[in-house]
Chains A and B, each alone.
Chain A
Amino acid sequence: MNDLPHRPLSPAGTMRRRELLARAAQMGIALPALSALGAACGSSSSSSSPPSSSGPPKGTAVLLNYQGWMGKHTVADFETAYPGAGIKQASLGSISSGAVVPQIKANMSTYDAALGDQAVTGQGVAADIIQPLDWSKIPNIKNVDEKFRSAYTHGIPTDYGKTGIGYRTDLVSDPINSWADLWNLAPKYSGKIVFTDLDRDCIGSALRYKGYSVNTTNQDELNQALQALIEIKPHLQALKSYNIGQGLAQGSYAIAMDWDYDIALAQQDNPHIKWVLPSEGASAYLEGFFAVKDTPQIEVLEAFFNFFLEPKQYADFVNTTGTAFVSNAATPYIDKTIAQNPALIVDPATLANVEFENYLGEATAAYNKLWDQFKSA
């Protein structure tokens, strides 16, 4: 069912550079008036509209992305629809979002676009590596729900995820509904608990447990979160940054802090797995694609982003990755197992309890130190 996704490589991948100025001169911006009007209400009619420009975009853009985090056919279909344009994907080596900005900044000419969450784009703005997009070239942005569009302004939002709890109801006899439950049950299920090996997720969850914001810069609150984490560490089997759902399905551990889409996938293999959005709240990420500053491939990117947001294409992305999605216009094409999964669907009431991770600015150093201290404990 959910096979390991394949991303087809663009053929040859040669970069042909065209003068940006010449392109711009040729460009006549004349939007189809109808599709522009449909924006505010998220109407399901005429949801797919190509951008209008007199010359087709040409060139290959390099997208920094997680391996497999793309629709199975998206890139191939894009390259068929726009001959001469190509997308080449480069891999993020580290799963930590903190790695994206330094990686791009250190080598600006290598990447044209990247996947990043709000923390990354916040950091990217401060480091001045983000290229603003011409939204008139991306009319399909109207397919993205308003709340996500307004939260993610520097690029196109692609998905979001929450860090909650997944546990085996057949191995754990007590109900778990909150972080407090997890922390209280830790001694009883010692050695059978796994946390994510990600600083923001762990610290954020501990902060929610203590009743604080996941973006706090208050050192006292951070210390409390650190204490909570150190307190539970002896009971943790491991800190994993991958494959958490797999271990849960196998029974290697019984309780896990994990992302919603990973739990949803594991549930297909073992129906005893239950997903919990803790009552104190959860940290979440909202991520998307953004363009790197001064990229010469900006037209290719804008065309690609627009193409990506077409309902069928976006659905391909969601079906491949199994992630919680940001566009309701694509729902008809999305697998029922994803579209109707309680772990992935979020109603407004629950969404209120989810807090998106933001850029921390100067406080980043404090979080890094905290993480080192936790890992060393």
Chain B
Amino acid sequence: MKLRRHWFSGLISLVVIVCLWAPLVIVAVNSVNKDTLLVSWKGFTTHWYNQAYHNPDVRGGVKETMTIALASTAISLVLAVSGSLWWRRAGHRSQRMFDGLTYLRIMLPEVVFAVALFLLFSKIRFPLGTTAVVIGHVVWNSAYATLIIQARVATLDPALEDAAADLGANAWRVFRRVTFPGLLPGIVAAGLLAFTFSFDDVVTSYFLVGSGTAPLPVVILSMIRFRITPEINAIGMMVMLFTVTMFTVGFLAVTRLGRGARRALALPEGRD
């Protein structure tokens, strides 16, 4: 790591990252505390993890949240990429309209969205539940994803794509070999963000889940209304570990696949 050259930003980065993880330390400590009321340290125990793991509400919540987050991230990315690519070559007025639509979604407090969709769904008798929540999430998730990918698209050099097209590649090939690799960091960043948002979302999920399985944040919120216990902290830790594992596995799989595909296509390796 090039530390010495960027010592200032490096120092701030260190401080920030430590601060980002500090609350986690508290959560971890709380999750193994024997004291139910979390007043003082009463000894180490894994009892809470056991309880959380076997709590049917928690398991249902994790499954539900994962489904919603993955689905809404995937759809949001599709909307964001397609929308940004169109935007790049669109006329000024169309661009401004599209921008307006994007910013409008970010500007509204989420509770207004949630209620608006809730009202709409009740009026047209669309069933509340997982699908409704995913739809709701996509509306604002795609806005954030679009902004990030737009910022990335702005840095792409259209000359590369034009060159590829002139050399005989069709639109899909240009996209796959030139545009997509260029967009990849933006897609990854946008995907991570969208997933994190969906994952933690309370408001939209609460309004649109009806009497279906409650997503995890809603489960936790109702548990906290009663009392903050070590079990809730254990849930937080477990969820984090689970998600990290999932992403590590996914990441390894994708890079293996990517490397294999690149080798097969005899493409140059990415900047490493």
Identify the closest chain B residue to A268 (Cβ). Answer: B37
Identify the closest chain B residue to A2 (Cβ). Answer: B36
What is the distance, in angstroms, from A221's C-beta to the closest C-beta of chain B? 31
- Some 26 contacts from A to B, beta carbons below 8 A apart, are A4-B36, A4-B226, A4-B227, A5-B226, A7-B57, A8-B56, A9-B60, A67-B223, A67-B225, A67-B226, A69-B226, A93-B221, A106-B118, A106-B119, A107-B122, A107-B210, A110-B210, A110-B211, A242-B227, A243-B227, A243-B228, A246-B227, A246-B228, A249-B39, A269-B39, A270-B39
Q: A4-B231, A90-B211, A91-B218 are in contact. Are A242 and B55 (CB under 8 A)?
A: no
Chain B interface bracket (under 10, 10 to 19, 20 to 34, 35 or more): 20 to 34
Given contacts A90-B214, A107-B122, 17 further A-B contacts (CB under 8 A): A4-B226, A6-B55, A9-B57, A67-B225, A68-B226, A88-B211, A91-B214, A91-B222, A93-B218, A95-B225, A242-B225, A246-B37, A246-B38, A246-B228, A250-B38, A250-B39, A269-B37
A241 and B39 contacting across the interface, CB-CB below 8 Å: no
A68 and B122 contacting across the interface, CB-CB below 8 Å: no
- Flag whether B128 is at the interface (Cβ < 8 A): yes
What is the distance, in angstroms, from A310's C-beta to the closest C-beta of chain B? 24
- Flag whether B224 is at the interface (Cβ < 8 A): yes
- Flag whether A285 is at the interface (Cβ < 8 A): no
B228 and A242 contacting across the interface, CB-CB below 8 Å: yes
- Flag whether A111 is at the interface (Cβ < 8 A): yes
Report, nearest first, the 4 A-B pairs whose CB atoms are least far apart: A67-B222, A91-B222, A68-B226, A250-B39
What is the distance, in angstroms, from A278's C-beta to the closest C-beta of chain B? 25
CA distance in complex: A7, B60 (Å):
13
Number of interface residues of A (CB under 8 A): 32
- Flag whether B229 is at the interface (Cβ < 8 A): yes
Within 8 A of A (CB), among B207-250: 210-211, 214, 218-219, 221-229, 231
Within 8 A of A (CB), among B37-82: 37-40, 55-57, 60
CA distance in complex: A70, B231 (Å):
18
CA distance in complex: A269, B227 (Å):
14
A242 and B36 contacting across the interface, CB-CB below 8 Å: no
Q: Find chain A residues with CB under 8 A from B55 CB.
A: 6
Within 8 A of B (CB), among A197-247: 241-243, 246
What is the distance, in angstroms, from B45's C-beta to the closest C-beta of chain A? 13
Q: A8-B56, A250-B39, A270-B39 are in contact. Are A242 and B224 (CB under 8 A)?
A: yes
The residue among B36, B210, B222, B223 with the most chain A CB atoms within 10 A of its own CB is B222
Q: A4-B36, A93-B206, A110-B210 are in contact. Are A66 and B222 (CB under 8 A)?
A: yes
A241 and B57 contacting across the interface, CB-CB below 8 Å: no
- Flag whether A3 is at the interface (Cβ < 8 A): yes
Q: Find chain A residues with CB under 8 A from B218 CB.
A: 91, 93
Q: Find chain A residues with CB under 8 A from B128 CB.
A: 107, 110
B56 and A249 contacting across the interface, CB-CB below 8 Å: no
- Flag whether A62 is at the interface (Cβ < 8 A): yes
Q: Find chain B residues with CB under 8 A from A6 CB.
A: 55
Identify the closest chain B residue to A67 (Cβ). Answer: B222
Q: A90-B211, A91-B214, A93-B218 are in contact. Are A249 and B225 (CB under 8 A)?
A: no
What is the distance, in angstroms, from B227's C-beta to the closest C-beta of chain A? 6
Within 8 A of B (CB), among A5-22: 5-9
Within 8 A of B (CB), among A84-111: 88, 90-93, 95, 106-107, 110-111
The residue among A7, A91, A250 with the most chain B CB atoms within 10 A of its own CB is A91
What is the distance, in angstroms, from A314's C-beta to the closest C-beta of chain B? 19
B211 and A68 contacting across the interface, CB-CB below 8 Å: no
What is the distance, in angstroms, from B163's C-beta to the closest C-beta of chain A? 55
B56 and A241 contacting across the interface, CB-CB below 8 Å: no
Contact partner of B211 among A93, A111, A242, A269, CB < 8 A? A111
CA distance in complex: A111, B210 (Å):
9
Q: Find chain A residues with CB under 8 A from B57 CB.
A: 7, 9
